[in-house]
Chain A
């Protein structure tokens, strides 16, 4: 079984990794024998809100996976840190997802020892970097300046994490890089990382395997703007996003695509949209709302594993763009996705949404019901809902999931395939365009009640299919089966 190393560079990288985690939690699977994801977040801004939120989500996912075990649809793909590749019993720590280069912790001028340079070199540096660049505080990243990032991030190969990465790499493993082209960290980090990966350096363990491995990447073209009126003297200006993108694309042309065996698959994602993110230069302030394109980016990673066998073999870089069906309005529903995307996410995502709605709207009724699910030795006892698995990991993860869905709904373009006005009795009528009878005025023919979910769960417990499982595993497996049945009924 193979591992997929996913490098998420900068804030966009973190957010795509978050989307990938949500998809894996929902039950979307990597293909072609990939069974493990190794997320690596590269961001000099260690306090970045997006980074820390993603690292927390990944840690919660790991704890859920550990408790429920393998062979599940939901939470069924292994996510490991580099350290855990060496020792799987290491505790799940969010810091372990962060790649080196974090906490550069100084001004760029100090980093290159500007004051210690001789006159000629100072003149050269002055030519390449503005005084603002030299004074830039890198604790918050490169603030849209790839010229700074390209110098700082060139130290990839020196970091301890890079060595752990090369040590753990096996033939058959693959690499995927996520970055944005219009910022600072992503735009500079991607070509540097790729360059380091493709160098066959005998001094580096497994360098030969890594340099010839299959590598895919997403580059995000501008898909959001930053508010220009929030702060004076702001370093990040979205009016430069397109010019920066053009310059970076031009650089990629000769630095990446003109070279053989540089990149096997390349995904372009971008959108003309009017969504404005609040201005933030970094730290905890940079916590942008999730966007549908980040979900599309996560789907690109799934697509990469699907076509994995066809990459390489001396072929040119496969280039793909993401598209959706023609539609009116700016709210996307499941039916607006392409057929492959729809096949991948419709059922898993709907299951996860329904599960969140169920635990928030129907749990009290579940507790009061008299079936086997929440009674008896082989059901789920009420104490289960007070244990760490549920309160610290599962419930919090579901809150993150709901937050992610809500943010995508609020954004432009809005991904809003689900209703959000359900109560227990109308819970199954939750997918837009797939209405389920709410029973009319008299309440007859009510097919949307979540009573059906409880009854189905009781039925599975009665069949004793999961008697040998741990309580956490049984909880997830029962709901997985129940929700698959009901969501398939609604969608088909």
Chain B
């Protein structure tokens, strides 16, 4: 799973430039953790939306809000995970700002934004299935 999730993040970065930082994430199995978080967070929030909240008024806006919330959660989880990655912390400590040297903090921010996007995309896809558990939002988003 670590490999699969890593393959989703790799294309977003210049491999030659970010190789070390990405390896540090890979070595700590943080990609796998991100993947599991992505699935659990999406399922959990979508289940809360479709089964418990099941709003009648302004359902489309509330569904989009839920998706955004999944993204925000993923953003925070990614930040939390990567700021606890000791290898990355070392890179941060050693960061000098030289030309050609990637900024680890900016890398973490980029990773968090990518996680946010994947959170939204995955939630939208899972909605197609989970909506059938709902009573009042069986046809939300369509």
Contact = CB atoms under 8 A, between A and B. Distances in A.
B136 A454 contact: yes
B57 A370 contact: no
A372 B138 contact: yes
Interface residues of B, number: 14
A369 B55 CA distance: 8
A458 B136 contact: yes
B54 interface: yes
Contacts of A370: 59-60, 136-140
A462 B138 CA distance: 9
A220 to B, nearest CB: 46
B64 interface: no
Contacts of B55: 451
A368 B135 CA distance: 15
Contacts of B99: none
A365 B56 contact: yes
Interface string B92-104: 0000000000000
Contacts of B57: 365, 368-369, 451
B138 A451 contact: no
Interface in A457-477: 458-459, 462
Nearest to A462: B135
A376 interface: yes
A368 B59 contact: yes
Contacts of A462: 135, 138
A459 B140 CA distance: 15
Contacts of A459: 135
Contacts of A451: 55-57
B142 to A, nearest CB: 9
Contact of B139 (A375, A454, A455): A375
A459 to B, nearest CB: 5
Interface range on chain A (Cβ under 8 Å from partner): 10 to 19
Contacts, number: 45
Nearest to A424: B57
Contact of A371 (B58, B60, B138): B138
A372 B134 CA distance: 10
Contact of A458 (B58, B60, B135): B135
A363 to B, nearest CB: 13
B54 A455 contact: yes
Given A451-B56, A451-B57, A455-B56, A369 B138 contact: no
A369 B63 CA distance: 12
A78 B59 CA distance: 41
B48 to A, nearest CB: 16
B73 to A, nearest CB: 23
A462 B134 CA distance: 9
Nearest to A456: B135
A372 B139 contact: yes
Contacts of A375: 138-139
Interface in B111-142: 134-140
Q: In the complex, which of the residues A375, A458, A462 has the most CB atoms of chain B within 10 Å of its own CB atom?
A: A458
A490 to B, nearest CB: 19
A451 B139 CA distance: 16
A426 to B, nearest CB: 14
Contacts of B135: 371-372, 455, 458-459, 462
Q: In the complex, which of the residues B55, B58, B60, B136 has the most CB atoms of chain A within 10 Å of its own CB atom?
A: B136
A368 B59 CA distance: 8
A369 B136 CA distance: 7
A455 B138 contact: no
Interface string A87-109: 00000000000000000000000
Contacts of A372: 135, 138-139
A115 to B, nearest CB: 74
A241 to B, nearest CB: 53
A389 B54 CA distance: 31
A486 B56 CA distance: 17
B136 A455 contact: yes
Contacts of B140: 370
Interface string A444-460: 00000001001100110
Contacts of B138: 370-372, 375-376, 458, 462
Given A371-B139, A454-B56, 14 more contacts: A365-B56, A368-B57, A368-B59, A370-B138, A371-B56, A371-B136, A372-B135, A372-B138, A376-B138, A451-B57, A454-B136, A455-B135, A458-B135, A462-B138
Interface of A: 365, 368-372, 375-376, 451, 454-455, 458-459, 462
23 contacts: A365-B56, A365-B57, A368-B58, A368-B59, A369-B56, A369-B57, A369-B59, A369-B136, A370-B59, A370-B136, A370-B138, A370-B139, A371-B56, A371-B134, A371-B135, A371-B137, A371-B139, A372-B138, A375-B139, A376-B138, A451-B55, A451-B56, A455-B54
Interface of B: 54-60, 134-140
Instruction: Please list the 10 inter-chain residue pairs (A to B) with the smallest Cβ-Cβ separation, ordered nearest first.
Output: A370-B140, A451-B56, A371-B136, A375-B139, A370-B59, A370-B139, A458-B135, A454-B56, A370-B137, A459-B135
